[in-house]
Amino acid sequence: MAVKNNPSPKRKAPSTFGLGAEKQFFIENLSVLLSSGMDISTALKAIKAEIRSKTMKEIIDNLEEDVKGGSPLWRALENMNLLAPQVISLVRIGE
């Protein structure tokens, strides 16, 4: 049995139910900002400033905390249950 190396403490991820448009906005903008050369932390802050949903802002806060704590982006996304496993795999490959 393999043990996952997870530097961030396991916390309950907010429900992503009803965030379809917000998730789409998030992933599209994250992709554009990161491909333009912006660092992950700055990109997350920029996206959070444009998001209206309190739940999505909480998710982005948790992502920022995980990434600042040394977790790779794919792991932080996986912890939040924000995106489908296939999308997280693509992020992992890209990192």
- pLDDT tens readout for residues 64-86: 999 999 999 999 999 988 888 99
pTM for the model: 0.76
| Residue type (1 letter), 6 | N
CB 19 within 8 Å of CB 56: yes
Q: What is the pLDDT of residue 15?
A: 58
44: tokens are 């997350």
> pLDDT tens for residues 16-66?
555 678 888 999 999 999 999 999 999 999 999 999 889 999 999 999 999
Residues shown for the chain? 95
Distance CA 5, CA 23 (A): 26
